[in-house]
Amino acid sequence: MEQQRVTKESLWQAALEAREFAYTPYSNYKVGAALLTASGKVYSGCNIENAAYGPGNCAERTAIFKAVSEGEREFVALALATENGGTPCGICRQVIREFSNVMTIYVGNMQGILREYLISELLLDGFGPENLETN
């Protein structure tokens, strides 16, 4: 998708499509994410569970890690599609915050977008790279 054609609805639709690839044999809670980068590219991700639980990965982090592994570092928006409009977990909020304190997050269920947040609203007083800067 080119940046000028990416709307919050088309980003959410990409998240909904990514949700179909979720590997969730234990929780059956499928999540899809779509990440819009400053360069206009969209990276999708789904959640991936594991029998040992800990090695699993959330959809948000899957999309972000895919983008970072392709050289992207600036993110504009993230759409999240779940059955009931769930928001990112704490670990995902921290990973999102690593790259932006102002990224928009669209949260939706199977019918569409329900809410819109800034990451700074979901992770109040979040810890970021600037907290490690020394003078």
Which of helix, strand or coil describes residue 19? helix
Neighbours of 24 (CB within 10 A): 15
Instruction: Tell me which of 2, 17, 60, 133 is the catalytic residue.
Output: 60
- Domain ranges across the chain: 3-132
Q: What is the length of the chain?
A: 135
State yes or no: is 60 an active-site residue: yes
Q: What is the pLDDT of residue 3?
A: 44
C-alpha to C-alpha distance for 82 and 115, rounded to whole angstroms = 12
For residue 88, the one-letter residue type is P
Q: Is the pTM of this model over 0.85?
A: yes
4, pLDDT greater than 90? no
**Average pLDDT of the residues of the chain:** 94
Pick the CATH number of 3-132 from 3.40.140.10, 3.40.50.2300, 3.90.10.10, 3.30.420.40: 3.40.140.10
pLDDT digits (tens, 9 = 90+) for 56-75: 999 999 999 999 999 999 99
Q: What is the pLDDT of residue 134?
A: 77
Question: What is the longest distance spanned by two Cα atoms in the chain?
Answer: 49
